[in-house]
Amino acid sequence: MNKSYLALFAFAVIVTTILILMPEKNNGKIELTPERIKAELNESSRFFTCDQVADRIIQGDPSFRLIDVRSEEEYNKYALPGAINIPLDSMLSENWIMYLDPVGASNIFYSNGTVKSDEAWILCRRQGFKNNYVMYGGLNEWFTCIINPVAPSLISSNAEFDLYRFRKAASFYFMGGSTTETSAPAAMPAVGSKKKKEVQGGC
């Protein structure tokens, strides 16, 4: 009887020691510290602009996936082409883990604005997931910039006019459907390469 208690006690001590020494444990998954996440939030490197997202959709870039983090109801009313719906409310469910931590691909979260998709990013980043990004401005910005772009004033730079032309063509692409696919993307490549540098400017 002595021996079994001794063995049990020794086991408890060993397991306790291991648990105390093990770093950052939460159900076996690693979490990034709040300070690390705040530093990444400050960098703002997680953002894609609407122009960049539009370009990737038009180019048919297979390396990224759009994730709509709004409710199912809002997603069914309207969603960006090819987007899948992972409502923020259910983002911790086991079903979605493989989507939210993809290997060799990226996710771009979007919502109506930026708050919700940003929260989704924070939730995922805390779990150590990489390759998630946020479409800045969300659908509100999308509709202002891409669907109904505003023509720049006559004194604007060539760069602004190029951006406007891209947006006009993108608008045509997204509104027109399959019949316009052949005509719209022809203008994309030339503008696309320039656009990656300029697109930092907003709408």
Partner 1 sequence: MRLMKHIFILFPIAAALLFFASCSENKKGYVIGLEETLTLMTSSIDRIEAEKVAEIIYKNDSQFRFIDLRNPTEYIKNHVPGAVNVPGNAVLSDEYIDILNQDEFINILYCETAMKANEAWIMLKQKGYSNNKVFYGGFDFIENHILNKYSPKSGNYNDEKPAFNFKEIMNAGGSGGAQEQSAPAAAPMVASKKKKSVEGGC
28 touches partner 1 (CB under 8 A)? no
- Please report the DSSP string for 108-120 in residue order: EEE-SSSHHHHHH
In the range 88-147, which residues lie near partner 1 by CB under 8 A?
88-89, 91-92, 113-115, 118-119, 122-123, 126-127
Using CB atoms within 10 Å of the CB of residue 26, give its burial: 0 to 12 exposed, 13 to 18 middle, 19+ buried.
exposed
Distance in Å, CB of 35 to partner 1, minimum: 6
Distance in Å, CB of 172 to partner 1, minimum: 30
Distance in Å, CB of 110 to partner 1, minimum: 13
Q: Which amino acid is at 8?
A: L
- Residue 60 has phi, psi (to 5 degrees) of 70, 35
Binding mask 41-80 for partner 1 (x = CB under 8 A): xx--------------------------------------
d(CA 190, CA 144): 23
Element (H, E) at 14: helix 2-21
190 touches partner 1 (CB under 8 A)? no
Number of residues this chain uses to bind partner 1 (CB under 8 A): 36
If you compute the radius of gyration of the chain from its CA atoms, what whole number of angstroms results? Answer: 23
- Please report the DSSP string for 70-86 in residue order: S-HHHHHH---TT-EE-
Binding site for partner 1 (CB under 8 A): 1-2, 5-6, 8-9, 12-13, 15-16, 19-20, 23-24, 26, 31, 33-35, 37-38, 41-42, 88-89, 91-92, 113-115, 118-119, 122-123, 126-127
